[in-house]
Amino acid sequence: GPITAENGFVSSGVVANGFNSTAMGGGLSQLSTNTFNIGYLGGMEDVEHKPHSKYFDRYPMGREATLWEGTIDMKWKNTSPYGVVIDTWVADGYVHSQLWSTKYWDVKASTSDPYNYRQPTTKNNPAADCVPSGAGGPGFTVDVSRTVSHDGTTNEELSGGYSWTYSPVDAVTCN
């Protein structure tokens, strides 16, 4: 950061005030999601992350990590006795990420099937850059869980889970 054009960032898709829009740094959530998942699946402590408000099928349900400079961040902490290296690159139009270290944690993670569906409605967006759109997919809830162990002993502090509820993708009208 800071997230500016001078620092090489561009405008791309974001969700702002519940509506799809564009903003400087849009798209950073892809990198954040990759980094969250390599840490989460590597047994690292989930210090801070927030899934998107709407579900985008390019991300694993409940396990994405949105970013918004100054208000929403993604952080995990290495709790193994070994150092880790994050390797990230872009190839063939995709962002790839790997976590390199000596294996320490055994991790089992799962995500429930979606439930508690809520159908989209129509919302009016008063923003000057509003673009009208039809309704998309429903909102729903998923449960994410993880068991982290070492030598057959579960680490209760790192294990556990959470639920996340996505908003429906409402139709949008503009003033």
Is residue 41 within 8 A of residue 6, CB to CB? The reply is no
The per-residue pLDDT for range 38-63, each reduced to its tens digit, is: 999 999 999 999 999 999 898 999 99
Q: What is the DSSP letter of 113?
A: P
Place of tokens 């030598």: 151
Give bridge partners of residue 95 from the DSSP assignment.
90
What is the separation, in whole angstroms, between the first and last Cα of the chain?
34
The neighbour count for residue 43, using CB atoms within 10 Å, is 26
Give the pLDDT score at 171. Answer: 94
With a cut of 80, say whether residue 14 has pLDDT above it.
no
Provide the percentage of residues in the chain whose pLDDT is more than 70: 99
Give the pLDDT score at 12. Answer: 78
Give the pLDDT score at 74. Answer: 96
Average pLDDT (73-95) is 94
Average pLDDT of every residue of the chain: 92
Q: The domain containing residue 111 runs over which residues? A: 5-174
| Number of domains observed in the structure of the chain | 1
Q: What is the DSSP letter of 13?
A: E
Give the pLDDT score at 35. Answer: 95
| Environment class of 2 (CB within 10 Å of its CB; exposed 0-12, middle 13-18, buried 19+) | exposed
Given pLDDT bands bounded at 50, 70 and 90, which one contains residue 83? very high
Q: What is the DSSP letter of 63?
A: -
Provide the residue type at 116 as one letter: N
Which residues lie closer than 8 Å to 86 by C-beta, 6 or more apart?
A: 35, 38, 97, 98, 99, 100
The per-residue pLDDT for range 99-145, each reduced to its tens digit, is: 999 999 999 999 999 999 999 999 999 988 888 999 999 999 999 99
The per-residue pLDDT for range 91-104, each reduced to its tens digit, is: 998 889 999 999 99
